C-alpha cells in the first residue's frame, strides 16, 4: 500500500502543479482582459459590467465600448490563442522548438494569396478569403517541405527553407502591390496586423471558423504523445504517422489562414508561447497545447495593450503586429541561443557543379555582360517591342543615355557588392547558405534607414551610407557578441537575421500603415529600385564598389586560409580573430553602400557565389572574379526586365532579382531533394 502510494505520488504532485499553473494562467488572462478594457474604454468597471449584462448603450463611451473595445479584446483572445495553439502543434509534431507559422512560411503564403485576391477579386474576400489564404499557405509549406525534407524538420533546414520562401512570396506580393497601387491602400494596415474594430463583423466571421481548434484539442494529444517515441515507436502502437501529420498540418493551416484573413499578419505569438509553456513546466502533449493556448491569449492581449499605450506617443495608431514583432524578435534570439550549439548544421547543400572554370566560361561571361549593357542602352520598349525585337534596338540619344547610364552603373555595382558580401560570409562562416540578407547585414542597414526616416524625418534617399553602415555595424556587433559564446554558430547567426527581418517588416508596415504620400516611395526603395538614382550617387556607388572589390582581392589569402579552418590558418601565421573582424567590416561596408543607394536586395549575395561554384570556381581567387560577374549579370538583367517587360509600368530591379533568384534557389534545392 505504501509502495503504491509512493509510486503514484509523483503523478499527483505533477497534476497538482499543473492545476496551479492553469489557475495562474487563467488569472493572468482575466487580469489582462480587465487591463485591456481599461485602456480602451474610459468607462468604469461597473458600467462595463452593466453593458455586458444587457444594458443598452446610450452615450458615445457606451457605443465605443460595445462596438470597438469589446470586439477588439475578443479578437485578441481568439487570434492569440489560435496562433499559440498552432505553434505548439507544429513544434510538437516536428520536435523543433523554433518552428511556427512564420518560420514555416505559412503566413507569407497566406498573405500573398490575400494580396492577389484583394487586387483581382476584392468582392470574394469576405466569403472566400480564408480558403484562398489556406491555398497560399499550402503552396508555401509544400515548397518548404520539398526543400527541407522530412529529416530537416527538426533543425535549421526548415527554418532556412521557410525564410527563403518568405522572401520569395514577399517579393511577389510587393510586385503586385506596386503594380496596383490604388487597389492596395487598405493592405498596408492589414499587413501590419491590426486588431482595431468598429463592429462585430470579424468576430462573428472568425468564431465559427476557429471551432476547428476544439477538434485539435480533442484529437491531437494522443498522436502527439506517440510521436515523441519516434516513427518506429508510434507505428508499433498502431499510429500511422503520415496521415496524422497531414491532417494536423491542414488543420493548423486552416486556423492560421482564418486568423490572417481577419486581422492580418501577427508574428511570433506561435513561436514564443510554446517555448514559455515548456519552460513553465508543461510536459505532456495536451498540457502544452492548452497552456500555450492560454498564454497566447495573454501575450497578444498584453502586446495589444502596449500598442494602444504607444499610440498615445505617436500621431498614428501603432499596429499590434508591430508591437508583437518588436517584442518577439529579441525573444527568438533568447530561446535560440540556449538550444543551438557551434556544431549546428543546416543540412542543406547545393549541387556541386563542374570541377573547374573552362576557358569558354571566362570568354562567355564578359560577352554576356557586354550584351546586357548594350541591350539596356539600345532597347526601346513599346507595346510591340517583344514581337519585333530587332526593330526596337537603336543607339540611344543623349537624353536617353543620360537617363540610362546611372541605372546601369547602379545595377551592376549592386550585383558586385552583394556578390562579394555573400562570398566573404560563406567563406568566413564555412556555411554555403550564408548571405547578407539571411544573416541580417542588409536588414541592419535597412532598419537604420527606416528608423532615420521615421524619427528624424526627411526622405529615405537622404539618409546616406553612413546611417546604413551604422545599422550594419550594429548587426555585426550583435553577431560578434552572440557568436563568441557559441563559437560563431551558423544557427545563431541565421536566427539573428530572421529576427531582424521580422523587426524591419514590422517597422516598414508601421510606416506604410500611415497611408502617407511617401508610402510607395519607401516600398519602392525597399524593393531595390534604380529609378531615382542620380548621376552623383551612381558615381559614388561605382567608386566605392571598385575600392571594396580591390580590398576583397587583397584579402584572398585570408579567405583561403580561413576556409580551411582556424587551426590551419593560425599555423600559417594568420591572426584569425583580426582577419575575421576586418572581413566582417568589409561585408558591412558592401551592404551599407548598396542598401543606402539602391535599397535592400535579396538572394543575389546567396546565389552569385553558388552559380560561380557551379561554373567551376571552387578556389577563392577565381570565385572573387566570377561571382561578381554573375551578380552583375543578374542585376542588369533584372533591371532591364523591370523597365521593359510591363512598359510603361516599371518594376524595381531588386524585386525582379528576388523573384528570379528565389525561384532558382528553391528549384535547385527542391531538385536535389527530389533526386
Average pLDDT over residues 493-498: 70
Helix ranges (H only) for 264-319 are 269-279, 285-311
Question: In angstroms, rounded to a whole number, what is the distance separating the alpha carbons of residues 56 and 50?
Answer: 9
Three-state DSSP class for 345?
coil
Q: Contact 108/163 with Cβ under 8 angstroms?
A: no
Answer with the residue of higher pLDDT: 191 or 633. Answer: 633
What pLDDT, on a 0 to 100 scale, did the predictor assign at position 191? 63
Q: Which of 113-122, 359-368, 662-671 has the highest mean pLDDT?
A: 359-368
Lowest mean pLDDT among 475-489, 542-556, 648-662: 475-489
Which three three-digit cell numbers place residue 269?
A: 505569438
Q: CA neighbours within 13 Å on the CB side: how many for 342?
A: 8
- According to DSSP, the residues that pair with 393 across neighbouring strands are 379
Answer with the residue of higher pLDDT: 174 or 363. Answer: 363
Question: In angstroms, rounded to a whole number, what is the distance separating the alpha carbons of residues 432 and 447?
Answer: 25
CATH of 16-339, one of 3.90.25.10, 3.20.20.70, 1.10.3470.10, 1.20.1280.260: 1.10.3470.10
Lowest mean pLDDT among 312-321, 507-516, 575-584, 617-626: 507-516
Q: What percent of the chain has pLDDT over 70?
A: 80
First to last CA, the chain: 60
Has residue 339 got a pLDDT over 60?
A: no
Residue 355: Cβ within 10 Å count = 8
Would you say the C-alpha torsion 50, 51, 53, 55 has a positive or negative sign? positive
Q: CA neighbours within 13 Å on the CB side: how many for 394?
A: 10
Three-state DSSP class for 251?
helix
Question: In angstroms, rounded to a whole number, what is the distance separating the alpha carbons of residues 233 and 477?
Answer: 45
Has residue 295 got a pLDDT over 90?
A: yes
Has residue 126 got a pLDDT over 50?
A: yes
Q: What percent of the chain has pLDDT over 90?
A: 14
Answer with the residue of higher pLDDT: 227 or 92. Answer: 92
Residues of the chain with CATH 1.10.3470.10: 16-339, 408-674
Q: Contact 654/528 with Cβ under 8 angstroms?
A: yes
Which three three-digit cell numbers place residue 41?
A: 474604454
All residues at 6 or more sequence positions from 587 whose CB lies less than 8 Å from its CB, including other chains: 420, 421, 424, 425, 428, 436, 441, 472, 476
What pLDDT, on a 0 to 100 scale, did the predictor assign at position 458? 66
Would you say the C-alpha torsion 52, 54, 58, 64 has a positive or negative sign? positive
Question: In angstroms, rounded to a whole number, what is the distance separating the alpha carbons of residues 35 and 29?
Answer: 10
Q: Contact 608/418 with Cβ under 8 angstroms?
A: yes
Please report where in the chains the cell 563542374 appears, as a residue: 354
* C-alpha distances out from residue 90 to 110, 326, 447, 575, Å: 17, 23, 30, 44
Longest Cα pair distance anywhere in the chain, in angstroms?
Answer: 100
Encode pLDDT of 96-111 as tens digits: 887 888 878 888 888 8
Q: Contact 300/33 with Cβ under 8 angstroms?
A: no
All residues at 6 or more sequence positions from 566 whose CB lies less than 8 Å from its CB, including other chains: 576
Is the preceding omega at residue 372 within 30 degrees of 0, hence cis?
Answer: no
Question: In angstroms, rounded to a whole number, what is the distance separating the alpha carbons of residues 656 and 639?
Answer: 8
- According to DSSP, the residues that pair with 379 across neighbouring strands are 393
DSSP string, 465-492: HHHHHHHHHHHHHHHHHHHHHTTS-HHH
Q: Contact 611/426 with Cβ under 8 angstroms?
A: no
By CB neighbour count within 10 A (0-12 exposed, 13-18 middle, 19+ buried), where does 307 fall? buried
- Please provide the average confidence, as pLDDT, over all residues in the chain: 80
Question: In angstroms, rounded to a whole number, what is the distance separating the alpha carbons of residues 606 and 661?
Answer: 9
3 state SS for 114-156? HHHHHHHCHHHHHHHHHHHHHHHHHHHHHHHHHHHCHHHCCCH
3-state helix, strand, coil in the chain (%, to 5): 75, 0, 25
Confidence of residue 553 (pLDDT cuts 50, 70, 90): very high
Backbone angle region of 458, left / alpha / beta, with phi > 0 → left and psi within -120 to 50 → alpha:
left
Q: Contact 342/282 with Cβ under 8 angstroms?
A: no
Burial 192-223 (b: 16+ CB within 10 A, else e): bbbbbbeeeebbebbeebbebbeebeeebbeb
By CB neighbour count within 10 A (0-12 exposed, 13-18 middle, 19+ buried), where does 147 fall? buried
Question: In angstroms, rounded to a whole number, what is the distance separating the alpha carbons of residues 511 and 521?
Answer: 11
Question: In angstroms, rounded to a whole number, what is the distance separating the alpha carbons of residues 55 and 50?
Answer: 6
Has residue 342 got a pLDDT over 50?
A: no
Please report where in the chains the cell 514583432 appears, as a residue: 325
Q: What is the CATH number of domain 408-674?
A: 1.10.3470.10
Torsion of CA 100, 102, 108, 111, to 10 degrees: 90
Question: In angstroms, rounded to a whole number, what is the distance separating the alpha carbons of residues 97 and 623?
Answer: 37
Has residue 401 got a pLDDT over 50?
A: yes
Question: In angstroms, rounded to a whole number, what is the distance separating the alpha carbons of residues 500 and 465?
Answer: 19
Has residue 298 got a pLDDT over 50?
A: yes
CA angle 214, 218, 224 (to 5 degrees): 120
Of 285, 548, 533, nearest in space to 409 by CA: 533
DSSP string, 565-626: -HHHHHHTT--HHHHHHHHHHHHHHHHHHHHHHT----SHHHHHHHHHHHTT--SHHHHHHH
Average pLDDT over residues 556-562: 89
What DSSP element (H or E) covers 221?
Answer: helix 221-227
Amino acid at each position: 500500500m505504501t509502495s503504491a502510494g509512493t509510486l503514484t505520488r509523483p503523478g499527483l504532485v505533477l497534476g497538482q502543479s499543473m492545476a496551479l499553473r492553469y489557475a495562474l494562467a487563467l488569472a493572468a488572462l482575466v487580469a489582462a482582459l480587465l487591463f485591456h478594457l481599461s485602456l480602451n474604454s474610459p468607462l468604469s468597471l461597473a458600467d462595463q459590467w452593466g453593458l455586458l449584462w444587457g444594458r443598452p448603450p446610450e452615450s458615445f463611451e457606451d457605443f465605443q465600448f460595445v462596438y470597438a473595445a469589446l470586439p477588439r479584446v475578443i479578437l485578441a483572445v481568439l487570434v492569440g490563442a489560435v496562433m499559440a495553439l498552432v505553434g505548439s502543434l507544429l513544434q510538437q509534431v516536428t520536435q523543433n522548438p523554433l518552428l511556427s507559422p512564420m518560420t514555416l512560411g505559412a503566413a507569407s503564403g497566406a498573405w500573398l494569396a490575400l494580396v492577389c485576391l484583394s487586387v483581382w477579386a476584392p468582392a470574394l474576400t469576405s466569403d472566400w478569403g480564408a480558403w484562398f489564404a489556406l491555398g497560399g499557405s499550402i503552396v508555401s509549406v509544400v515548397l518548404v517541405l520539398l526543400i527541407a525534407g522530412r529529416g530537416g524538420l527538426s533543425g535549421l533546414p526548415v527554418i532556412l527553407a521557410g525564410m527563403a520562401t518568405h522572401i520569395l512570396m514577399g517579393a511577389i506580393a510587393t510586385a503586385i502591390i506596386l503594380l496596383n497601387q490604388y487597389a492596395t491602400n487598405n493592405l498596408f494596415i492589414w499587413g501590419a496586423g491590426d486588431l482595431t474594430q468598429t463592429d462585430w463583423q470579424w468576430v462573428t466571421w472568425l468564431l465559427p471558423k476557429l471551432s476547428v481548434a476544439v477538434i485539435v484539442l480533442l484529437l491531437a494529444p494522443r498522436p502527439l504523445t506517440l510521436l515523441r517515441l519516434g516513427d518506429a515507436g508510434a507505428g508499433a502502437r498502431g499510429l500511422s504517422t503520415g496521415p496524422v501529420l497531414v491532417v494536423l498540418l491542414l488543420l493548423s493551416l486552416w486556423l492560421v489562414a482564418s486568423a490572417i484573413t481577419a486581422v492580418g499578419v501577427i508574428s511570433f505569438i506561435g513561436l514564443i508561447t510554446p517555448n514559455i509553456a515548456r519552460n513553465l513546466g508543461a510536459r505532456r502533449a495536451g498540457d502544452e497545447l492548452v497552456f500555450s493556448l492560454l498564454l497566447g491569449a495573454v501575450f497578444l492581449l498584453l502586446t495589444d495593450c502596449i500598442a494602444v499605450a504607444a499610440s498615445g506617443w505617436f500621431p498614428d495608431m501603432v499596429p499590434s503586429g508591430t508591437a508583437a514583432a518588436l517584442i518577439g524578435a529579441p525573444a527568438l534570439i533568447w530561446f535560440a541561443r540556449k538550444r543551438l550549439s557551434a556544431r549546428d548544421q543546416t543540412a542543406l547543400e547545393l549541387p556541386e557543379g563542374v570541377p573547374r572554370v573552362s576557358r569558354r566560361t571566362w570568354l562567355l561571361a564578359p560577352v554576356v555582360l557586354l550584351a546586357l549593357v548594350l541591350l539596356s542602352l539600345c532597347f526601346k520598349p513599346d507595346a510591340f517591342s517583344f514581337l519585333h525585337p530587332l526593330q526596337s534596338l537603336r543607339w540611344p540619344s543623349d537624353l536617353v543615355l543620360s537617363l540610362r547610364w546611372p541605372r546601369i552603373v547602379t545595377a551592376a555595382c549592386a550585383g558586385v557588392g552583394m556578390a562579394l558580401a555573400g562570398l566573404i560570409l560563406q567563406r568566413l562562416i564555412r556555411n554555403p547558405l550564408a548571405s547578407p540578407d539571411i544573416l541580417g547585414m542588409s536588414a541592419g542597414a535597412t532598419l537604420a534607414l527606416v528608423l532615420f526616416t521615421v524619427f528624424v524625418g526627411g526622405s529615405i534617399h537622404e539618409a546616406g551610407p553612413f546611417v546604413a553602415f551604422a545599422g550594419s555595424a550594429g548587426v555585426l556587433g550583435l553577431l560578434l557578441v552572440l557568436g563568441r559564446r557559441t563559437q560563431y554558430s551558423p544557427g545563431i547567426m541565421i536566427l539573428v537575421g530572421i529576427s531582424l527581418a521580422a523587426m524591419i517588416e514590422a517597422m516598414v508596415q508601421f510606416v506604410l500603415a500611415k497611408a502617407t504620400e511617401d508610402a510607395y516611395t519607401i516600398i519602392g526603395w525597399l524593393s531595390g529600385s534604380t529609378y531615382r538614382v542620380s548621376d552623383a550617387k551612381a558615381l559614388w556607388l561605382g567608386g566605392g564598389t571598385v575600392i571594396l572589390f580591390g580590398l576583397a582581392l587583397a584579402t584572398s589569402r585570408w579567405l583561403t586560409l580561413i576556409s580551411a579552418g582556424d587551426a590551419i590558418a593560425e599555423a600559417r601565421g594568420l591572426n584569425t580573430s583580426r582577419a575575421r573582424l576586418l572581413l566582417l567590416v568589409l561585408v558591412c561596408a558592401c551592404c551599407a553602400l548598396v542598401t543606402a543607394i539602391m535599397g535592400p536586395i535579396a538572394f543575389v549575395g546567396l546565389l552569385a557565389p553558388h552559380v560561380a561554384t557551379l561554373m567551376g570556381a571552387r578556389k577563392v581567387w577565381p570565385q572573387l572574379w566570377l561571382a561578381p560577374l554573375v551578380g552583375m549579370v543578374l542585376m542588369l538583367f533584372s533591371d532591364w526586365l523591370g523597365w521593359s517587360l510591363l512598359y510603361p509600368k516599371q518594376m524595381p530591379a531588386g524585386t525582379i532579382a528576388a523573384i528570379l533568384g528565389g525561384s532558382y534557389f528553391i528549384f535547385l534545392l527542391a531538385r536535389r531533394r527530389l533526386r
